[in-house]
Amino acid sequence: MKKRPKTSAKLRPGLASEPAFDHIMLKRCAHLRKQLARYEESNSEDAVHKSRVALRRLTTALDAFHPLLRKAPFKAWRSEAKALFRALGEVRDADVYLAALPDEERSKKLVTGTAWLREKTWQDLKRKDASGFAARLEKAVCDKAMLRRSREGMLLRGRPVEILAGEAMGRIWADLAGHGADLAAMSAEERHGFRKDMKTFRYLADDFSPLWPKEGRAEAEDRIRALQEDLGTLNDMANAARLGRPVTGGEAEEDILRRASGVWSELSGLRPWWRQEEPSAEPVEEAEAG
C-alpha cells in the first residue's frame, strides 16, 4: 500500500503559515482522495455529493492560503478542482431533479438521460484520472512547488498562521455582510450566493478552529448550523418552485425567512473571534519536517 504523506505540524497559534498550509492541505487532500476513490468504485449519488463537498472544502483552504502561493500553480490547481466540481455538479443536479419528481412524471426518456449522464461523467473522469487529483496535489504540497520564493513570499510563509487565518475569515465575513441584513429582501439567487458564502465561512472556521479559544466561537457555531439548515430549506423551496412544484405543508417560507434573518442578525452582532488585537511580535516556529 502506498504510504500517505504525513501532516507536518499540529495547527496552533504561533505556527508559521507554511507548515500550517502543509497541515491543512494534506488533510484536505486525504479526505478528497477517500471520497473520489468511493466515487470511482461506486458511482453512487452519495459519493458524488460527498466528493463535491470535499472539493469545496479543498478549494476554500487553497483560497485562504493564496498569499503564499505562486500565481500559475495556484490557478492551475484551483481550475482543475473547479472543473471536477462542475462535472460532478451536473450529475448531482440531474439526480436531485429526478428525485424531486413524482413517479408518474419520471418519463423513461428522463430516467435514461440521467443514467446516461451519470455513466458518461463517471467514465470521463476515470479516463482523466480524477481519483489521482488528490495524490498529485499532495505531491505538489510536499515538494513545496506551489510556494512563492520571493522575499515577500518568504516573509508571508513565515508569518503566524493566525494572522493569515484572520485575514481570510475577515474577507469572507465582509462578503457575507455585503449581502445585506434582510434575507427576505434578497432574491432566491442572492440567497443562494449568501448560502455559498456561509459554507465557505464555516469551512474556514472549521479548518482554523485550533487557533482561537472555543469560548469565542461556540456561540457562533450553533447559529451557523441553524442558519445553514434554514438556508438549505429555502434553497429546496426555490428549486421546487423553479421546477413548477411548490412545496406544500411544513413551515411557510415567510416564517423560515423571519427566523433565518433573526439568526443572521444575532450572528452578525457577535464579536468576531478571529480578529487579533495585536499581531504576535514573538518569533514564529519554523516548519517541521513532514
pLDDT of residue 253: 83
pLDDT of residue 203: 96
Half-sphere exposure of 180 (CA within 13 A, CB side): 9
pLDDT at 38 over 80: yes
pLDDT of residue 6: 53
- As a whole number of angstroms, the distance between CA 33 and CA 98 comes to 28
Query: What residue has cell string 484551483?
Result: 78
Mean pLDDT for the chain overall: 87
User: Where in the chain are the domains?
Assistant: 17-142, 160-268
CATH of 17-142, one of 3.20.20.70, 1.40.20.10, 3.40.50.10860, 1.10.3720.10: 1.40.20.10
pLDDT at 233 over 90: no
- As a whole number of angstroms, the distance between CA 162 and CA 152 comes to 18
pLDDT at 288 over 60: no
At 277, the pLDDT band (50, 70, 90 cuts) reads: low
- Residue 262 burial by CB count (10 A; 0-12/13-18/19+): exposed, middle or buried? middle
At 248, the pLDDT band (50, 70, 90 cuts) reads: low
pLDDT at 1 over 50: no
pLDDT of residue 214: 83
pLDDT at 7 over 80: no
Strongest mean pLDDT among 4-18, 81-95, 207-221? 81-95
Average pLDDT estimate for 17-43: 96
pLDDT at 57 over 80: yes
Amino acid sitting at position 158: G
Average pLDDT estimate for 246-270: 82
Between 290 and 75, residue with greater pLDDT: 75
Between 151 and 278, residue with greater pLDDT: 151
pLDDT at 240 over 70: no
Average pLDDT estimate for 46-73: 97
Average pLDDT estimate for 140-147: 96
pTM of the model: 0.86
- 179-224: pLDDT as tens digits: 998 898 998 889 989 999 999 999 999 999 999 888 778 888 889 9
